[in-house]
Amino acid sequence: MTQRRLSQKLRPSRLSRKLFWITGEVVLVFLLWVNVLASDRPRAHLIGTTISSPTNGSIVSSIREISGETLCPAGLSGAVQIRLRHVATGKFWDWAEDRWNDNGVLEFIPSEGTQTPWRVLLPQLAEGRYELECSSIDSGVRRCSGNSRFLVDRTAPRVSFFPLHDQETIDDVFEIGGEIDKPAEIKFTLWRVSVHGERTACWNGKTWDSDGAKSALPASSAHGYWFPAAETTLPKADEIESGTYLISATAVDGAGNEGRAAVTVHKANLPRFAKD
């Protein structure tokens, strides 16, 4: 009996176990917070550079300059290096030599204690993929501050009609669509044309309208083909009068390049035979 009472006295109570657990959690959180502060503190004393333009993953038809901002903390001296790499060749643009080479770089000294915006003129870039890299050198150590990859694309999308052909005679317009060779935003129009070649009415998705501002109808694309979007309603066969119609499509890619295609089709009323 005496040994059991002694073991009960030595066993920790529920309250003491809870206090021990809480104390351990507090110590763990404190150590983690100290570790975060310790890891963040050196970063406040580094030169940092951000790229404003071009944004990462952007597609442009032309670009004349790059821009960004550099923050240099007070009491710290160093340099910023900017490199422009042509991805396909691996060459770097040398601003001083005005040519591509194996180690082209532009370097400048940022002002201490300020956030300095910068702009750098570019040469006429050919079509292709490029990578812009900004690095800082402080305390003798070179660190990458930011990078941006972008694509220069001046090629307009090729859009065509299929199976419709120019000057074809049709009964309806349910086969509007065709081929396209790259991702793009596509819109198409359906116009009724007079014998003099004047556009007289467009299909606005519900009815024929003389307002040209309502003529653009949305289309979609997939696997190299384009077709009217799901929300686009085409005129029924009995809503298409005999005459001439102009169907055109416009495709605009991510760089703003525009491709166009058009076909002219005709509808003729079939002769009606008298009943016996």
The reply to whether 44-152 and 159-267 are identical in fold is yes
Q: Are 166 and 263 in contact (CB under 8 A)?
A: yes
Q: Are 51 and 134 in contact (CB under 8 A)?
A: yes
**pLDDT tens, per residue, the chain with 276 residues:** 444 444 444 455 554 555 445 555 544 544 454 454 444 434 446 788 899 999 999 999 999 999 999 988 887 778 999 999 999 999 999 999 999 999 999 999 988 888 889 999 999 999 999 999 999 887 777 788 789 999 999 999 999 999 999 999 999 999 999 999 999 999 999 999 999 999 999 999 999 999 999 999 999 999 999 999 999 999 999 999 999 999 999 999 999 999 999 999 999 865 444 444
Where in the chain are the domains?
Answer: 44-152, 159-267
pLDDT one-digit tens code per residue, 156-192: 999 999 999 999 999 999 999 999 999 999 999 999 9
Q: Are 46 and 141 in contact (CB under 8 A)?
A: no
User: Omega of the bond prior to 12 within 30 degrees of 0, cis?
Assistant: no
pLDDT for position 263: 97
Q: Mean pLDDT of all residues in the chain? A: 85
What's 33's DSSP letter? H
pLDDT for position 35: 52
What's 55's DSSP letter? P
pTM as predicted: 0.74
Neighbouring CB atoms inside 10 A of 13's CB total 9
Q: In the block, which residue shows the tokens 């790059």?
A: 66
**CATH, domain 44-152, list 2.60.40.2550, 3.30.950.10, 2.60.40.1080, 3.40.50.2300:** 2.60.40.2550
Domain 159-267 architecture: Sandwich (2.60)
